[in-house]
Amino acid sequence: MNTKLQVCGGAFLLNAPDPRRVFIPEMFTDEDRLISKTAADFLRQEVIPRLDAIESGDHALMAELMRRAGALGLLGADVPEVYGGLGLRQTTSALIAEKLNPQQSFALTHEAHTVIATLPLLFFGSHVQKSRYLPKLASGEWIGAFALSEANSGSDALALQTRATLSADGKQYMLRGEKMWITNSAFADLFTVFAKVDGRVTVFLVERASPGLSFGKEEHKLGMHGTSTRRVILEDVPVPVENALEVGKGHYAAFCALNMGRFKLEAGAVGGLKSLLAICAAYAKQRKAFGRPIAEYGLIQHKLAEMCARTFALESMVYRLAHDLDLAFDGIDATADDAPERYHRAAEELAIECSVVKVIGSEAYSLFADEAIQIHGGYGYTEEFPVARAWRDQRLLRIGEGANEIVRLAIVNILLRRDRAGRLAVLDAGRKISATLVQSMPPDSTVFDGPVDQLDALAQDVADAALFLLFQANEQLGDGLLEQQEIAAAIADLVCLAYCIQSVAIRCGRLQAGPPPRFQAMLDAAEAVGQWAGEESHRAIRYVLDSLPALDDQVDWRDEPFTGIANLLARLVRRDRSPAELRRSLAAAVLERDGWPF
C-alpha cells in the first residue's frame, strides 16, 4: 500500500504548485451543488424561521434542529460510509459549512459536533469504538461536544489539569477536573474529554449519563447566544477502559481536531461574508443620504469592494486547502489498524495552511462585520438589523480553535521544526534569497502581461520576503525567535499573505483560458487583493527590518536606495491602476448583482 502523502504542507513558500492540481470553486460538480442547496434550504426553511427562539437560548430547539440536520445527512459529511456517514470530500464538506454560516449559532453548534467532537474519534479511535459511536453522531441520534479547554488552559491547551486514574481492578478510569467553554454542553450525549493519565494527555469518550458528570450554568456571552456553553464538571466520573483512545496520544487528537476546526470555521466565514455583502448591498441601494442612495458614494463603494475582494480571496484559499486535505486523506481505510497513524499524518501535514486560513478568514470576518455596521449607520447599532448579531457572533472566531496570536506563532514554529526535521528546507531557501537581496541592484522595471501575471510575481515576492526574514531572524535570534513574538507574528503575516495572493492568482489564471461570465469583476477583485496584500506585506517587512539589527555589516538597507530589499519594498506597493477606480468598478458589479457577483 502506498502511504506517501500527495501534498507537502508549507511547500507553497518554496515553489508555486502546478495550477492543474489546485481546486477552485468553479470546479464544483452538480452533486456538490445539490448538497450545497440541501444545506442552504435547511438553513432557510428550518433555522431562520426560528431565529428568535434560537437567539433566546432554546436549547431543546437547537438539539431538535441538529437531529433534523442529521436526517438530511448534514452531520455525516466527514464520517465514512462504513460508519453510517456520507464519506464526502472535504471540498463538499466545506461547502456545507459555508451554506450554514449565516446563522452563526447553528453553524457553531454544527461545527462543534461534526468536527472537533467527531474527528478525534474518527482519526484516533479503534474500529470497535468507531462502530459504536460514529453512526449515532452521523445520524444526529447523539450530539457530540469537545471538552479540552479549562479555566487556566485555553490556547495553552496541553497545560490541562484534568486527571484520569486507573481503578484498582483495571476496568475503568476515574476522571476528575473541570472543563470550560464547552459548546453543546446542554444537550450533548457524548463528550470527547481530554485528561492526563500519568502526565500523558489521553482522550476519553464520556457518555452524558455517566455518574459524577455535571454542568455549570449557561455562560452569558457577547455573541453566539443560540449556542449552549457551560462548564463540564467531572467528579470521579467512571469511564470504561474501552472508552479511552490510545493512552498518551491525546495531544495528537487535540492538534488534529483544532487544525480541522480552523479550516471548517473559515469555510463557514466565506458564507457569512457573502451574506453580509448581500445585506450591505441591499441596504446601500435603498438608504438615501443627501438625496442620493448611499451606494452612489465612493466611501461606501470602497467598503463593498473590499468586502467582496477579501471574500473572494478567502474562498480561493479555503477550497484550495480543502482539496489538498482530500489528497492527504486519500486512500485511508478508516477500519484499518494503521488508520490512526495515517489520519494523524494527513491532518498534521496541512497545519500551516489551516492556520493561515484561520488568521486571514477570522480577521476579514471581524473587519467586515464592523464595516457592515458602519454602512448601516445608527440602524446597524440596533438589534433590528442582522449586522449587530453578525458582529457579536463572529468575534469568537479570532479566539476559538486557538487565539490568532498563538496561531501566528505556531506557523513560524512549525516551519522551523519542519526545517530541522529535514521536511521543508525553508532556512536554506532564505539563505539563498538573502545572498541576492543584500546586493545593490537597479530599480525594477518589469512589464507585466496582465493582472494575473502581476499577482504571480507579487506572490513570489512575498514568499521570498517571508523566507528571507525567517532566515535572518533565526540567524540573529536563534532559539529566542519565538520569544520575540512581534517579529515572529510579522513573519507569519507574510506567510499568510503569500498563500492568499498565490491562491487568488492560481484561480484567476485557470479561469482566464476560458473566461466565465463576470470574469472582469474577478480580475478586479484579484487586483484589489493584490493592492491590499502588497501594502500589508510592506508593513510587515518594514516592521521586522526595523526590529532586527542591521542585516549585514557592509550593507544597511536604509542607506542604499537601490538594494534588492528596497526594490522589493517598492514592488509591493506598485500600482498599475487607480485604487479608487478599481474599487468603484468592483462595487458596481456587487450592486448590480445585489451582493456576491460571481
Tell me the catalytic residues.
401
Collect all residues with Cβ–Cβ distance below 8 Å to 41 and sequence separation of at least 6: none
Collect all residues with Cβ–Cβ distance below 8 Å to 163 and sequence separation of at least 6: 175, 176, 177, 195, 196, 197
Q: Given phi > 0 = left and psi -120 to 50 = alpha, else beta, which region is 447?
A: beta
Collect all residues with Cβ–Cβ distance below 8 Å to 250 and sequence separation of at least 6: 194, 195, 200, 201, 202, 203
Q: Which of 248, 229, 242 is nearest to 180 (CA)?
A: 229
Question: How far separated are the first and last CA of the chain, in Å rounded?
Answer: 42
Residues 461 and 455: their CA atoms lie apart, in Å, by 10
Three cell numbers written together for 338: 494503521
Cα–Cα distances (Å) from 428 to 350, 482, 484, in that order, read 21, 19, 22
Residues 377 and 367: their CA atoms lie apart, in Å, by 15
Helix (H, G, I), strand (E, B) or coil at 422: coil
Residues 281 and 302: their CA atoms lie apart, in Å, by 12
Residue type, 413: N
Q: Residue 318 class from Cβ within 10 Å (0-12 exposed, 13-18 middle, 19+ buried)?
A: buried
Residues 101 and 58: their CA atoms lie apart, in Å, by 19
Is-contact 264 118, C-beta < 8 A? no
Secondary structure of 215-265 in HEC code, one letter for each residue = ECCCCCCCCCCCCCEEEEEEEEEEEEHHHECCCCCHHHHHHHHHHHHHHHH
- The position carrying cell 522589493 is 568
Residues 318 and 362: their CA atoms lie apart, in Å, by 12
Total length of the chain = 598
Residues 46 and 42: their CA atoms lie apart, in Å, by 5
DSSP state letters, 533-561: HHHHHHHHHHHHHHHSPPS-SS--GGG-T
Q: β-strands 163-166, 213-215: how paired?
A: unpaired
Is-contact 430 480, C-beta < 8 A? no
Is-contact 165 174, C-beta < 8 A? yes
Residues 520 and 510: their CA atoms lie apart, in Å, by 14
Three cell numbers written together for 271: 458564507
Three cell numbers written together for 365: 470576518
